[in-house]
Structure 1
Amino acid sequence: MSEIDWAEASPAAPLSLHREKVRPEWLDYNGHMNVAYYVLVFDHASDAVLDLIDLGAAYRERSTGSVFVTEAHITYEQEVSAGDPLRVESRVLGFDGKRFILYHEMFTDDGDTVIAANEVMCLHVDLTTRRTAPLPEAAAARLEDLAAKHGRLPQPSRAGRAISLAARRPGAT
């Protein structure tokens, strides 16, 4: 983190830290990106956020702590195909000292239409005990800062969803 000016890196706007292109081998038999690769792209975006707040690979190498995902939800809105450039915007929706919620929206790199959205519950874990543990002070401060700034934005309409057959949209089949 020493190379990043934290004041510059913590805007009151979603973080745009990850971009990549859809690879041909990611397509399924329907000719669009397979669901597993949406998870992969969102995982890459989570890694970028973890690196920004100093909880990424370098943190794991120098400490006994790590971050585990305990819950995840994805909504798929649009299809993407081989070669499509993707951009993921990320937010911190909540934080409590040991846990935090990351929310990601995927776009084509040149567009504003949401392709998919992902919400993940992350926990900080002490790898020696395999139990949750308080986050390091600096990372906790960064998460708290991002959660406060991102909390001023409108709540994403796709956040907090659950799978259900009840209360479908009018006209949906």
Structure 2
Amino acid sequence: MMIDVKTLCLGVLSRGDASGYEIRKEFEEGPLSHFSDAGFGSIYPALRRLTEDGHIVMLPHSGDGRPDKKLYRITPAGRHALYQALTRAPAPDKLRSDLMFILSFGHLLPPRHLDRIISDRISDYRRLIAAMEAQENQVARTPGESFVEGMGLAIYRSVASYLEDHRHELVAAALMENQVAE
């Protein structure tokens, strides 16, 4: 089963009341940003449908002289719907990566350019790993969030190590391809 945006919203709201903007931030900057994606164009229609279905309620909220923002709260029916969605077998993972696409054709690139792409990505992963490790014990997380963060760290470490250990193979293939082309 593919997790839909309604279920993603219910998951965020199961952790506490939130506005549409705060829900979106979870998918852009929060712990869900690494494996889920939802923007305003899909969040607000999902919130409207969840409200119509009785899975969430809207709470008006005044904010320090600013215009009222709409806060959403999950209902018992919404918690039940979330539980039902979470108990279904997940769809197979799909990895979407611009880097993997580019590397699939890496043998066609100039070797130095290819090596720079790989070096930059290794640096990106190492920075991300360091940031995640620094934040590991500073933010309160549910047991599930801690587990998934550990899983994410394992994936990032593994990919960085693979790139470091095997980059020479693809760079050599690019070098050979470029020599043949000349």
Q: TM-score, normalised by structure 2?
A: 0.25
Counting helix residues as a fraction of each chain, which structure ranks higher? Answer: 2
TM-score when scaled to structure 1? Answer: 0.26
Question: Which structure carries more relative contact order (alpha carbon 8 Å, separation 6+)?
Answer: 1
